[in-house]
């Protein structure tokens, strides 16, 4: 239901002050004075230096639409009500309420508000660097100016890109927008396009002649992206990685995903990161991954891995039996798989012994938790398994490296592009590189179909996917499904909204799942516009969920 919001009424106190005729002038420091805030070269660079942590911590925050998206996408499951998790875990799915005072209003607003603020700050900072140049000033050298502008464009691109992934609309703020102008709302596709333009600008500035003229250019100071001294070439690679992620991820439907310019995605992904790009968190740095490194490590219903998608790793027939059981009567089962990211063993006791603490052996991401920590649920969320890729960092007071961009994410984006452009032979080696590294069999080089099962041997094939039309048993997956499985396994608890954006675009979400959030009612009220609920929802998809 849509509601009409009445115009906000201005306070009478200001009118009273204006009526006083004594000429008293008072500077209002509650009204941002952009010119004053960006008045000095050092001040401008200081603002830009602090942008990275603002984007990063917002992505990782517990109270956010990203937390809700992880639940909706099946990346995690929780039975506690905090952060909207229990509400989003329910099947049948519900719409996203945007009513006044709704239960999830804080999380629904948090990402919208903060990314919009960061976008405005980054745009203002670029304007400030330009003003310095116009007055013959510099932060320190042409290279130092270029480094600052490139980084601000890079953060602006991320902020807009993240808004485009999550919300149906947002304001597009760029350096061309005056600092006191409030842009109208634009649809997600337009916001995503603007994000790509800002990232292109970041690349252009980084590659300009000015970027190598004078001192204090690239690499970035290690505090700008905590723990990383990013060279100019690495910076360009990072920007192109985000371009690949946003270009593919903004799609709301399989048709939109299919219409993506996959040649551009392939080009950017192939020019993207070649090793996992990590950011150091904790240790008093101010950088944090509060949900992925901290909150999911709390036992007692805060996190477990539903078999819905993770169960596709099983080769024992357990996933078949789980699918054949009515949804609300399903129980946890032991996933037996050749995938080395899972705990080894064919019994729960053996798997627990293989990884007795939350610090897992190298390459293992998932543990079979101690039985005493189980929260028996019944239904599709019941599971023995937790994600513990960051176990060592969690035990070190949530201090350590966090994977912001997985190299496999880039490889699978390129592989998806090759599949969608009928170049399966180029996709197979990329998919196999990840499969073989993790103990899975290789897709045959002779495959000619990306959508037919790559094998008929259910004793060894991974993934195994629900088979139409009944969806009560599984069959060996195709090359396309193998690509999806590798991407899910390697991007779980990395990046921002990766599982959600992928499952949405692939048509793999649970029926009725919201595919985007509405502009929060607080923003609509401030704009004196009608607020509305999130009613754009996914149909029954690939797996019949």
Residue/partner pairs of 84-88 with CB below 8 Å, 24 or more apart = 84/108, 85/302
What's the pLDDT at 357? 87
- Cα separation, 288 vs 270, in Å, equals 29
27-66+95-275 — its CATH code?
A: 1.25.40
Give pLDDT tens digits for 260-301: 999 999 999 999 999 999 999 999 999 999 999 999 999 999
Q: Is 368 helix (H, G, I), strand (E, B) or coil?
A: strand
Average of per-residue pLDDT values in the chain: 93
Joined tokens for residue 374: 């189980």
The DSSP code sequence of 245-312 is HHHHHT--SHHHHHTS-HHHHHHHHHTS-SS-EEEEE-TTSS---IIIIIGGG--SSS-B--HHHHGG
% of residues, the chain, pLDDT over 70: 93
What's the pLDDT at 32? 53
- For residue 34, give the H/E element and its range: helix 34-37
Give pLDDT tens digits for 220-262: 999 999 999 999 999 999 999 999 999 999 999 999 999 999 9
Q: How far is CA 183 from the centre of its chain?
A: 25
Q: Is the pLDDT of residue 37 over 80?
A: no
Query: Is-cis flag, bond preceding 219, omega within 30?
Result: yes
Instruction: Over range 158-179, report the average pLDDT.
Output: 98
Q: Is the pLDDT of residue 15 over 80?
A: no
Give pLDDT tens digits for 76-99: 999 999 999 999 999 999 999 999
Q: Is 30 helix (H, G, I), strand (E, B) or coil?
A: coil
- Cα separation, 203 vs 201, in Å, equals 5
What's the pLDDT at 376? 82
* Phi, psi of 177, deg, nearest 5: -95, 120
**10-14, 174-178, 216-220, 329-333 — which is least confidently predicted?**
10-14
Q: Is 223 helix (H, G, I), strand (E, B) or coil?
A: coil
Give pLDDT tens digits for 519-544: 999 999 999 999 999 999 999 999 99
Q: Is the pLDDT of residue 44 over 90?
A: yes
Asked if 533 contacts 504 with a C-beta cutoff of 8 angstroms, the reply is: no
Q: Is the pLDDT of residue 26 over 70?
A: no
Q: Is the pLDDT of residue 359 over 80?
A: yes
Residue 413: CA atoms inside 13 Å, Cβ hemisphere, count? 36
What's the pLDDT at 214? 97
Domain ranges of the chain: 27-66+95-275, 294-402, 407-493
Give pLDDT tens digits for 129-138: 999 999 999 9
Give pLDDT tens digits for 467-484: 999 999 999 999 999 999
What's the pLDDT at 39? 82
Exposed, middle or buried: residue 180 (CB in 10 Å: 0-12, 13-18, 19+)?
A: exposed
Joined tokens for residue 341: 């990211």
Give pLDDT tens digits for 396-416: 999 999 999 999 999 999 999
* Number of helices and strands in the chain (H, E): 21, 8
Residue 318: CA atoms inside 13 Å, Cβ hemisphere, count? 20
Q: Is the pLDDT of residue 436 over 90?
A: yes
What's the pLDDT at 356? 87
- Cα separation, 259 vs 272, in Å, equals 22
What's the pLDDT at 33? 60
Asked if 348 contacts 383 with a C-beta cutoff of 8 angstroms, the reply is: no
Instruction: Over range 302-325, report the average pLDDT.
Output: 98
377: confidence class by pLDDT, cuts 50, 70, 90: confident
Residue/partner pairs of 371-375 with CB below 8 Å, 24 or more apart = 373/299, 373/300, 374/332, 375/79, 375/299, 375/300, 375/301, 375/304
- Cα separation, 248 vs 258, in Å, equals 9
CA dihedral for 137, 139, 141, 146, sign (positive or negative): negative
What's the pLDDT at 3? 39
28: confidence class by pLDDT, cuts 50, 70, 90: very low
């Amino acid at each position: 239901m849509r509601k009409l919001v009445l115009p906000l009424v201005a306070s009478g106190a200001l009118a009273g002050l204006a009526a006083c005729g004594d000429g008293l002038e008072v500077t209002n420091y509650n009204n941002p004075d952009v010119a004053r805030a960006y008045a000095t070269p050092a001040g401008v660079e200081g603002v830009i230096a602090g942008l990275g942590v603002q984007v990063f911590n917002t992505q990782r925050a517990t109270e956010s639409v990203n937390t809700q998206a992880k639940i909706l996408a099946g990346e995690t499951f929780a039975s506690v009500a905090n952060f909207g998790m229990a509400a989003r875990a329910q099947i049948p799915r519900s719409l996203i309420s945007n009513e006044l005072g709704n239960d999830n209003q804080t999380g629904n607003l948090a990402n919208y508000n903060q990314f919009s603020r960061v976008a405005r700050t980054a745009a203002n900072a670029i304007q400030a660097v330009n003003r310095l140049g116009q007055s013959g000033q510099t932060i320190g050298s042409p290279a130092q100016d270029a480094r600052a502008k490139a980084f601000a464009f890079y953060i602006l691109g991320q902020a807009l890109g993240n808004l485009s992934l999550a919300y149906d609309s947002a304001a597009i703020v760029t350096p061309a927008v005056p600092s006191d102008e409030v842009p109208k709302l634009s649809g997600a596709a337009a916001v995503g396009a603007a994000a790509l333009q800002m990232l292109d600008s970041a690349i252009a500035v980084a590659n300009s002649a000015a970027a190598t003229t004078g001192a204090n250019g690239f690499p970035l100071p290690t505090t700008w992206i905590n723990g990383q001294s990013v060279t100019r070439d690495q910076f360009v690679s990072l920007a192109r990685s985000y371009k690949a992620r946003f270009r593919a991820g903004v799609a709301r439907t399989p048709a939109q995903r299919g219409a993506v310019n996959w040649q551009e995605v392939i080009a950017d992904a192939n020019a993207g990161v070649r090793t996992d790009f990590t950011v150091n968190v904790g240790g008093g740095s101010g950088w944090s991954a509060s949900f992925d490194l901290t909150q999911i490590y709390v036992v007692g219903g805060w996190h477990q891995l539903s078999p819905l998608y993770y169960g596709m790793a099983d080769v024992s027939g357990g996933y078949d039996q789980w699918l054949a059981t009515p949804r609300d009567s399903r129980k946890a089962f032991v996933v037996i798989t050749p995938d080395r990211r899972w705990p080894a063993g064919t019994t729960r006791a053996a798997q627990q012994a293989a990884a007795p603490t939350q610090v897992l052996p190298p390459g293992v991401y998932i543990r079979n938790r101690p039985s005493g920590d189980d929260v028996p649920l019944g239904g599709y969320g019941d599971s023995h398994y937790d994600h513990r890729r960051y176990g060592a960092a969690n035990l070190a007071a949530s201090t350590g490296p966090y994977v912001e961009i997985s190299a496999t994410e880039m490889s699978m984006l390129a592989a998806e592009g090759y599949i969608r452009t009928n170049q399966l032979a180029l996709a197979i080696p990329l998919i196999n590189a990840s499969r073989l590294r993790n103990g899975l069999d290789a897709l045959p080089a002779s495959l000619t179909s990306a959508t037919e099962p790559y094998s008929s041997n259910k004793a060894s094939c991974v993934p195994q996917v629900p088979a139409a039309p009944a969806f009560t048993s599984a069959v060996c997956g195709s090359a396309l499904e193998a690509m999806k499985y590798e991407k899910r396994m390697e991007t779980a608890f990395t990046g921002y909204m990766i599982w959600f954006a992928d499952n949405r675009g692939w048509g793999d979400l649970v029926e009725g799942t919201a595919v985007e959030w509405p502009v929060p009612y607080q923003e609509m009220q401030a704009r004196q516009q009608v607020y509305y609920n999130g009613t754009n929802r996914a149909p029954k998809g690939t797996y019949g969920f």
